[in-house]
Chain A
Amino acid sequence: MAGLDPSAPAASIASVTDRVSALSLPQPAASVHFLGTIAAFVGSEDNVMLVDGTAEARTIAAHGGGILCAATDGKRLVTGGDDGRVVAIDRRGEVAELAADAKRRWIDSVALHPDGAVAWSAGKTAFVRAPKQEVKSFEAPSTVGGLAFAPKGLRLAIAHYNGVTLWFPNMAAKPEFLEWKGSHLGVAFSADNRFLVTAMHEAALHGWRLADNKHMRMTGYPGRVRSMDWTAGGKFLATSGADTVILWPFASKDGPMGKEPLMLAPLKARVNVVACHPKEEILAAGYSDGTILMVRITDGGELLVRRKAGDAVAALAWSADGSRLAFASEGGEAGLLVL
């Protein structure tokens, strides 16, 4: 151990750091999303910054206050703010207001459906607006922690305290309630619509197999899971929260029940954010010490994208075609890797 710092992978693994272009952002970004080939960096206050290639960032005034949440379908970025507004921004930087909360409540979460429906929440209320339809709302039993659309049909998962409600905004059917004690924050459907997973306030994930509502407990994290993403083809759910990337297997009909997760890319730092390549079995992981690794899921092979910098990674995203990887750090650095 002495003399050798195992947390410095630079010495031992292949590096593409020389192919990363540094981007200069006018303010630190909390998340990043791709609109085609344009990287949209969401600042924590007021602004979204659009970066085309390595050109200078275009600052788009989106909110009059903090931006609390953001989601994208690849064509537009939808954000919710503490100004009570939900806005959409396209790749040209056009801003459209989708909703303004009557009581100016904080917009805590947003979600987008591939067919154009938008969902958002303020306090206990979840809202949905499908294309050419009126806004519909649902009162959750407690504050909404997260939203996700099912991949098929208009069905919204609403995470809250003690479980998740599955709501069909266009149907009279009573919403379905999946119960599990605790506070549920992030929520995601598997791409095949068979599983639903929540990231809880405690350091654990909870899952349900939707066919029979069978529970799946995914525990053992040292910290809260703030980032999760499905690998290409939906074989694994990659997650942050530990000092390795934790990947839960979802390919079989039982999902991760009774199985051990895959643990890749261990470092002496916490994984803050994960982003899976849209086509290949590759993921990018950003760590609390600033390191960014690209990891091949099949054999755990690693490629260094950003060296340990002392400045934690805040955001990572792949473009839909998988040719670009963008990142932002808590200290305000940002970069772009074109493959």
Chain B
Amino acid sequence: MSAAPAPSSASDKIPVTVLTGYLGAGKTTLLNRILSENHGKKYAVIVNEFGEIGIDNDLVIGADEEVFEMNNGCVCCTVRGDLVRIMEGLMKRRGKFDAIILETTGLADPAPVAQTFFVDEDVQTKARLDAVVTVADAKWLSERLKDAPEAKNQIAFADVIVLNKTDLVSASELAEVEARIRAINPYAKLHRTERCQVALADVLERNAFDLDRILDIEPDFLEAGDDHDHDHDHDHGHHHHDHGHGLKHYHDEDMQSLSLRTDQPVDADKFMTWLQDLVARDGARILRSKGILAFKDDDERYVFQGVHMMLEGDHQRKWNDGEARESRVVFIGRDLPEQAIRDGFAKCVAA
């Protein structure tokens, strides 16, 4: 009997980078930079305002951002129907491009895009979500976070935040806006830029949704010291503030992140039941979740990630010798029931 064909590995799948951000933050600038840079790669670009913005690329597809609710009676379980259709059409042209960049409107919620990759079998087998990259305007983001819930969603959802137009704000304004970002999402990689001058390696091929790459879920600012100096042509004033230590601490009223950890072994059955119940009950409020688990009597790391009520998880690899078998779980969401989550997680520790 011949062996079944090997399942396509992550690298065979077309990576999809989602580019979000409020109007005027610099999304199109970043998109054109990605397309014009000499990287030898061909991109298919899915944009919303077809033909209205100047994008110099062979393969540009107009999207409608049509979101439909799945028939499970739940408002947070949504899929981008147009994306399903576009991906199906694009796959007929496989070989003509190496990667896909999906630009969303400033008002878009990134969740339906991500959920499409969880739900749709065809999309899932042929493409993979690489990362959600949010371009934010250093001058206006603080204001937008107050009056525009979608701006907050985009920050909360981001794997990478390109904080653009830093040349238009003072050092203290920059510290302020960064602190506000961190209050919502301490885990995204944050890059300070002018005119979106960010290294492409910092926004593309991030594998942020690859279970195999969920290696660390430490807050980004702990390592900010070696990560933050991309503004080479702009170092006046730059060293006057220290991002790593002098960060103001804000508490965002309605969007938070919650990090749990334990070095006690976790009971697999209890944890799975608890996690599934939690997202079934509070999934509408949980934008993203991620975790690395050390289960009792299990020599392998278990990793999971989720968007609202949709979860995926798998054993990742054997725990290394000498590696601390610590379990860590992170939630980013709106009005999270913090105490209930902490108590629930504490009860999952194996007896």
Contacts and interface: CB of A to CB of B under 8 A. Distances in A.
Contacts, number: 68
A161 interface: yes
Given A30-B92, A45-B92, A68-B92, A143 B5 contact: no
Given A5-B1, A105-B62, A310-B4, A142 B71 contact: no
Q: Is the interface of A mostly helix, strand, loop or mixed?
A: loop
A216 B85 CA distance: 25
A82 B85 contact: no
Given A30-B92, A181-B71, A201 B4 contact: no
A205 B333 CA distance: 34
B81 A142 contact: yes
A310 B61 CA distance: 33
Contacts of B5: 310-311
Contacts of B120: 201
Contacts of A289: 4
Contacts of A124: 64
Interface string B44-79: 000000000000000001101010111100000001
B66 A142 contact: yes
Contacts of A5: 1
Contacts of A108: 85, 89
B299 to A, nearest CB: 28
Interface string B1-40: 1101100000000000000000000000000000000000
Interface string A42-69: 0011000000000000000000011110
Interface string A182-194: 1100000000000
Interface residues of A, number: 33
A65 B96 CA distance: 11
Interface in A170-186: 180-183
Nearest to B84: A201
B121 A224 contact: yes
A162 interface: yes
B98 interface: no
Interface in A11-53: 30, 44-45
Nearest to B90: A66
Q: Is the interface of B mostly helix, strand, loop or mixed?
A: mixed
Given A106-B61, A224-B121, 15 more contacts: A5-B1, A44-B93, A65-B93, A66-B89, A66-B93, A67-B92, A82-B93, A142-B64, A143-B85, A145-B81, A145-B85, A181-B71, A183-B84, A202-B70, A204-B71
Interface of A: 5, 8, 30, 44-45, 65-68, 82, 105-106, 108, 123-124, 142-143, 145, 161-162, 180-183, 200-202, 204, 223-224, 289, 310-311
Across the A-B interface, give the 7 residue pairs with the lowest CB-CB distance, nearest first. A66-B92, A44-B92, A182-B71, A161-B68, A183-B81, A183-B68, A181-B71
25 contacts: A8-B1, A65-B93, A66-B89, A66-B90, A66-B92, A66-B93, A67-B92, A82-B92, A123-B64, A124-B64, A143-B66, A143-B81, A143-B82, A145-B81, A145-B85, A161-B81, A162-B68, A182-B69, A183-B79, A183-B84, A200-B71, A201-B81, A201-B84, A202-B71, A289-B4
Interface of B: 1-2, 4-5, 61-62, 64, 66, 68-71, 79, 81-82, 84-85, 89-90, 92-93, 120-122
